[in-house]
Structure 1
Amino acid sequence: MNATTGLVTAVSEGNTNIVATATDGSNVSGSAALQVTASQILVTSITVSSGRASIQENETEQFIANVLPGNADNRAVTWSSSNATVATVNATTGLVTAVSEGNTNIVATATDGSNVSGSAALQVTASQILVTSITVSSGRASIPDDATEQFNANVLPGNADNRAVTLVLQ
């Protein structure tokens, strides 16, 4: 404390009294109570990550926020998506659900009032259309031991992304 100006600098948490005493020999004094509270440690940075930077429509992906400093008083974050038509995110858990093909950023924002946020890019690709059935057919069910027969595979659905098949003898 500066005894002339009365400027007090808090050093640690606790309670104290500030006393002013007249210097004219009268010994008159007055006092005021002062409570010093701990300074809030705010978030200074957030790094957002996930296991994959690209997922397909209707898939989910868990995003994680690394909040610094580790001793921040409130390390909680709120999650959001910069483009909710591409992907949505649970505001509390960071679980992302891909909605439609496109790009978005998944954002984690500190809730401690520091306005610090971090983000990670996410690409959503169209869902792969998989084969649901294959019917194998030929003109004959029985052939002589020196003959050949053509077998065909009918793959469904017709718009499957990869309709290639391999035929083997069993």
Structure 2
Amino acid sequence: MRRRITQAAVFLALIAILAACQISSPVVPPTKISLKPFLSLIVGESETLTPVVEPANASVEDLDWESDDSSIATVDSTGKVTAIAEGDTVIRVATQYGLKAECDVYVATVSVRDVTLDKTSLTLKESHMYTLVATVLPSNATNKNVTWSTSNASVVKLVKNDAGKEDGTIFANAEGTAVITVTTVDGNKTATCTVTVIKEQ
């Protein structure tokens, strides 16, 4: 009786092993991997590269991504490429089987076309303040930094913010007229506002 039970157990174990072998799919290694040949980005933009493997049912688990120049564009473990600075570099991917592919990445900047101020003329009373708002165009310009200047600080002076930078805030010192100029760092585009200071009545 015990022998019959043992034989039955062995038989059931064999059936289970055969069933498991039939259920599990064999691992199919890739024979080729490829990426889109080139990618163009603007500084600050990101795009995820999707590798194509052959055959279509190939199993790829571990992909190793790298950038030839991470100061121009970086890539993370998912293939997401982020543009850092103007220039060109190569993004490379490799499989655990040694297959490799690459994509040429070109990064460009958007130049400043113009700058405007919310006021072209302004009248302030002595000891009053106002913050001029500069708008750099286009809105997706890469470098939107600007500098401020006054033609007569004894009449209208620029006020620094908590970070110690001039942000367009002006203070009316004394009666008179001064011109406030904003200048873009990229392209030296300018806009002006004529400020007239009158006495407090």
TM-score, L = length of structure 1: 0.51
CA contact 1:87–1:96 (8 Å) conserved in 2: yes
Supply the AA of the counterpart residue of 1:68: E
Q: Which residue of 1 aligns with 2:46?
A: 60
Q: Following the alignment from structure 1 to structure 2, what is the Cα–Cα distance between the partners of residues 104 and 74?
A: 25
Match of 2:66 in 1: 80
Aligned to 1:121: 104
1:101 is matched with: 86
Give 1 or 2: higher helix fraction: 2
The one-letter amino acid of 1:73's match is S
User: Who is 1:158 aligned against?
Assistant: 184
Judged with a 3 Å threshold, the aligned counterparts in structure 2 of structure 1 residues 126 and 45 are, in CA distance, closer, same or farther, namely same
Counterpart of 2:135 in structure 1 is: none
Answer yes or no: is the 8 Å Cα contact 1:130–1:162 preserved in 2: no
1:125 Cα offset (Å): 1.7
Distance 2:56 2:181 in 1: 55
Instruction: Calculate percent identity across the aligned residue pairs.
Output: 23
SS at match of 1:53: strand
Q: For residues 64 and 87 of structure 1, what CA distance do their matches in structure 2 show?
A: 16
Aligned to 2:120: 137
Residue pair 1:79, 1:109 contacting (<8 A) in 2 also: yes
The separation in 2 between residues aligned to 1:88 and 1:77, in whole angstroms, is 16
Over the residues paired in the alignment, what is the CA RMSD in angstroms? 3.7
Deviation at 1:127, TM superposition (A): 4.6
Aligned residues: 112
Q: TM-score, normalised by structure 2?
A: 0.44
CA-CA distance at 1:42 after TM superposition: 1.8
Q: How far off its partner does 1:74 sit?
A: 2.6
CA radius of gyration, larger in: 1
After superposition, the C-alpha distances for 1:15-34 in whole angstroms (9 at most, x for unaligned) are 9xxxxxxxxxxxxxxxxxxx
Once the two structures are TM-superposed, the CA of residue 73 in structure 1 deviates from its matched residue by 2.8
Following TM superposition, by how much is the alpha carbon of 1:39 offset from its aligned partner in structure 2, in angstroms?
6.9
Distance 1:44 1:162, change over 3 A: farther
Unaligned 5+ segments in structure 1 are 1-13, 16-37, 139-153, 166-170
Q: How does 1:25-36 map to 2 (within 5 A)?
A: none
